């Protein structure tokens, strides 16, 4: 009886035969520096570089989608949502929320945020108490570049505070206090005499008017009628949750990009992935949200470079707020805040 011959192909014993990739599937390819340095092409190559670079590319696409939607003519179907705006801002087809923590203002990202607000590219800001205070402080004295390894005891003896690898002398706070305390006293007097109701947003708007310094984010927020929400004016770190909850009231945001280093393993809202927000109705189920796991001071300016700054000329200049309007502000429509 003749024995049967069986051919064994080692690779098939371990690996299952591959199916063909769908037509149009991108291939992994990074930037070729032999072609010289073209920063725009370099950042475009992130979309096919994999890992967090790929998420950066997806975030650029998502932000450009929201910008495109914002610049479209107002959709008549949304007319009920678009009637009236308590700050006097002109409505657009898409309202863009910009949320950030105080350390972004402490760092050089402040100038990127100021650029977006100055050019009327966003519709409201959500931040923490430090995100307000440190913007105004920088109008009087600078924050310095330090080092993560500097010893706290030594800095304390010198009256210097460390924020990561940034240094803020105590003198900066003294200059800030000298400026803000007389303003707060005047506001208290207005409350007693005129019945002005000072909400956090109204306080920030008044300070933005009083600072009268174009380096300030909130100077431009005041000038351009961009409301600033600070849900924890005396403390906090709740900007992401506040922004998501605001969109819950309209059955979810149409677009969303997260940029942070927080992770979801501990169940925190700050680390939650976008899909968790979809389950609550904070982001619409048909949206295409993106999360980049990266440190914002490295990545946020690059995102702006590839999105908003490319289309700066398409944004409509705001109607500057007149001082008469600001001075006549006695608390009407304060319920929005």
Instruction: Give the active site residues.
Output: 282
CA 115 to chain centre: 12
Which structure tokens are listed for 42?
């370099």
Closest CA to 46 of 30, 26, 27: 30
What residues contact residue 220 under an 8 Å CB cut-off, 6+ apart? 114, 117, 118, 208, 214, 226
CA distances (Å), origin 116, targets 108, 110, 124, 254: 14, 10, 11, 20
Q: What angle do CA 329, 332, 336 make, to 5 degrees?
A: 115
| Residues 6 or more apart in contact with residue 169 via CB below 8 angstroms | 141, 144, 159, 160, 161
- What is the rounded distance in angstroms from the CA atom of residue 45 to the CA atom of residue 25? 15
How many CB atoms are closer than 10 A to CB 112? Answer: 22
CA-nearest of 115, 315, 326, 95 to 204 is: 326
The token pair at 138 is 């920088």
Phi, psi for 163 (deg, rounded to 5): -115, 95
């Amino acid at each position: 009886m003749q024995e049967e011959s069986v051919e064994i192909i080692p690779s098939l014993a371990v690996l299952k035969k591959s199916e063909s990739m769908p037509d149009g599937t991108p291939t992994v390819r990074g930037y070729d520096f032999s072609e010289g340095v073209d920063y725009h092409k370099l950042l475009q190559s992130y979309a096919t570089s994999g890992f967090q670079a790929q998420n950066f590319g997806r975030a650029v696409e998502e932000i450009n989608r929201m910008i495109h939607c914002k610049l479209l003519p107002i959709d008549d179907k949304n007319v009920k949502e678009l009637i009236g705006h308590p700050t006097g801002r002109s409505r657009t087809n898409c309202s863009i929320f910009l949320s950030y923590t105080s350390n972004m203002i402490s760092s050089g990202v402040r100038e990127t945020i100021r650029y977006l607000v100055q050019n009327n590219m966003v519709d409201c800001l959500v931040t923490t108490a430090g995100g307000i205070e440190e913007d105004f402080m920088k109008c009087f004295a600078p924050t310095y570049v330090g080092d993560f390894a500097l010893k706290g005891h030594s800095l304390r003896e010198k009256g210097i505070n460390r924020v990561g690898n940034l240094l803020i002398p105590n003198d900066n706070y003294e200059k800030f206090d000298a400026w803000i305390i007389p303003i707060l006293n005047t506001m208290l007097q207005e409350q007693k005499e005129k019945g002005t109701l000072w909400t956090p947003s109204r306080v920030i708007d008044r300070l933005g008017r009083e600072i009268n310094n174009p380096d300030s984010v909130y100077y431009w927020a005041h000038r351009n009628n961009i409301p600033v929400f600070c849900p924890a004016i005396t403390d906090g770190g709740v900007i992401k949750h506040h922004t998501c909850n605001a969109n819950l009231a309209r059955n979810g945001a149409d677009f969303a990009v997260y940029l942070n280093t927080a992770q979801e393993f501990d169940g925190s809202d700050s680390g939650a992935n976008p899909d968790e927000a979809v389950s609550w109705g904070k982001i619409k189920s048909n949206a295409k949200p993106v999360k980049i796991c990266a440190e914002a001071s490295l990545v946020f300016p690059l995102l702006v470079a590839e999105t908003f700054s490319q289309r700066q000329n398409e944004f409509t200049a705001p109607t500057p707020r007149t001082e008469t309007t600001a001075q006549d502000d006695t608390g009407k429509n304060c319920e929005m805040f």
